[in-house]
Amino acid sequence: MKVLKKVYYRIKFTLSSPLAVGSGENENADKDIVRDASGKPYIPASSIAGVARTALKNKNMDSYLGNVIKADVSNQEVSAEDSMILFYDAIMEHDQKYSISVRDCVGLDQYKTAKEGAKFDMEVLEPGPIFVTFIEQNITELKRMNVAGIIADLFKSNKFCFGGKTTRGYGDVSVSEIRQKEFDLQKPVEIEEWVSFDMYDESIEWDDYIGYGDEQKDIGTTITLTLKQKGGISIRKYSTKPGKKIKMYNGDFKKIPEPDYEQLTLSGTNPIPIIPGTSWAGAFGHQMRKLGLSERDYEDLFGYVKGNRTKKSLIRFSETQLENAYPKKMSRNAIDRFSGGAADGALFTERTYYDGNTKLKISVNGRLNDDQIFALSASISDLGYGFMAVGGLTAIGRGLFSIIEVNSKPVKNEEIFQTVKRILSGQEVNAL
């Protein structure tokens, strides 16, 4: 097939939630993040291509993205077609500072006890770094559609999430710039320009991004809750810091130990307390079951892993950052009920956060049945009333929130259930 045109897109985006793209290694954690030869994290082109293929699965574009056709009986490869579109690794722009942390993950039963074999840890790249990637397409005599432009549109609408645990708030990106370049290979002048074209050369002037205008419409619902803390929060991260030395009035130095554990935070000079999407998903899933949601409806919505059978979750919970929260270090102890003294080995110190506010985004990919709508609406209402909590130490008032707004509209507690139910039923416009 004769190539008529070459099109390129340069896409710059910011990582807006933690990234968990596994490398298959387990040197630093059970699941290490992928790194290049210099040790810097990146997003492989294969991950970008996979997300793009999934987003376009209903568009019958295998002939553009490449495919392998196998025989029905022998299951042997009988034909293959190359992709007309080339994807490139997304690499960090220049010499940016970035932070990799290790997150502990554990599966809990209905009593908040760890399930056997459900404990692991993984490396994540914390949000903030800026990445740049490229998409290239050959437009030929037979395949004239600019599929790369459609993918760029999807990028621009921030519909792509990369890596693992994307339904639990990981891998979000926010596109800041898209530029494009086209070469008409039927014109000798543009052929010469294409031969000397180096897309990595930062001095090259790219054209303004026009957009393809074939953006896919979502079939689903998004609810954004504006929340205010009503107490502390306890999603534990165990400290390994040696403690700080402070100078006393007499000139001596005294070592102040760090807490035994602290609230999970994003690292930095001023740590930001966070609530992972996994914690929100666990809290809502548990509450919806308590409200009578059947096992079948639960698995249909939250997904499952049963041996070799898996189903992806249709509901997505964002990771939330607690803004304007203040830290508080607290020491707790258990008292011996007979002697009235401190129980041996029961003293510990924690760092928690109070008075923060945040936004929780809950997205559903598809339509819910009546039972699922009722259970989710009632659970959100229970969160607002304080009947549902997130994280640990909920028996002593941790993890409670009040709901201030639903989809940017102020609500009272008695209005939450019906408001959410109308949104989930399609009777109100979704939040963007």
Q: How confident is the model at residue 336 (pLDDT cuts 50, 70, 90)?
A: confident
DSSP lists the bridge partners of residue 410 as 405
Residues 6+ apart with CB under 8 A from 430: 221, 222, 223, 407, 423
- Greater model confidence, 212 or 374: 374
Cβ-based neighbour number of residue 59 at 10 Å: 14
Distance CA 18, CA 128 (A): 9
Q: What is the pLDDT of residues 126-164, one digit of tens each?
A: 999 999 999 999 998 877 888 999 999 999 988 899 999
Q: Decide if 366 contacts 220 (C-beta within 8 A).
A: yes
The widest CA-to-CA distance across the chain, in whole angstroms, is: 94
pLDDT at 194 over 50: yes
Q: If we measure between CA atoms, which residue out of 134, 122, 126 comes closest to residue 97?
A: 126
pLDDT at 418: 96
pLDDT band (50, 70, 90) for residue 40? very high
**For the chain, how many residues are written?**
432
- Kindly tell me if the per-residue pLDDT of 213 is higher than 80: no
Residue 272 predicted with pLDDT over 50: yes
Q: Distance (Å, rounded) from C-alpha 26 to C-alpha 121? A: 10
Look up the pTM and report it. Answer: 0.84
More confident residue, 337 or 126: 126
Residue that is written with structure tokens 């074209």 in the block: 197
Place of tokens 């100078």: 247
Give the residue from 311, 280, 307, 308 showing the smallest Cα distance to 295.
311
What average pLDDT score do residues 35-59 get?
Answer: 90
213 vs 409 pLDDT, higher one: 409
Instruction: Please state, in angstroms and rounded to a whole number, the distance separating the CA atoms of residues 161 and 164.
Output: 9
Sequential DSSP letters for 20-33: --B-S--SSSSBPB
Across 101-115, 241-255, 384-398, least confident range = 241-255
Other beta carbons less than 10 A from residue 249's beta carbon: 5
For 132, half-sphere exposure in the C-beta direction (CA atoms, 13 angstrom radius) is 13
Residue 395 in this model has a pLDDT that exceeds 90? no
Q: According to the CATH classification, is domain 3-61+78-208 in 3.30.70?
A: yes
- The residues spanned by each domain of the chain are 3-61+78-208, 220-424
Cβ neighbors of 9 (< 8 A, separation 6 or more) are: 134, 135, 136, 148, 149, 151, 152, 178, 179, 180, 209
Q: What percent of the chain has pLDDT over 70?
A: 86
Q: How does the average pLDDT of the chain come out, rounded? A: 86
Read off the pLDDT of each residue in 255-283 and give the average, rounded to a whole number.
85
Mean pLDDT calculated for residue range 94-113: 79
Residue 431: pLDDT band with limits 50, 70, 90: very low
Mean pLDDT, rounded, for 70-94:
77
pLDDT at 415 over 60: yes
The whole-angstrom separation of Cα 140 and Cα 157 is 27
Lowest mean pLDDT among 10-14, 60-64, 115-119: 115-119
Q: In this structure, are strands 304-306 and 326-332 parallel, antiparallel, or unpaired? A: unpaired
> What phi and psi, each to the nearest 5 degrees, are found at residue 160?
-100, 135
- The label of the residue with tokens 């009947």 reads 387
- For the chain, the 3-state helix, strand and coil shares in percent, each to the nearest 5, are 20, 35, 40
Strands of 71-206, DSSP E: 77-81, 85-87, 91-92, 100-108, 114-125, 130-140, 173-184
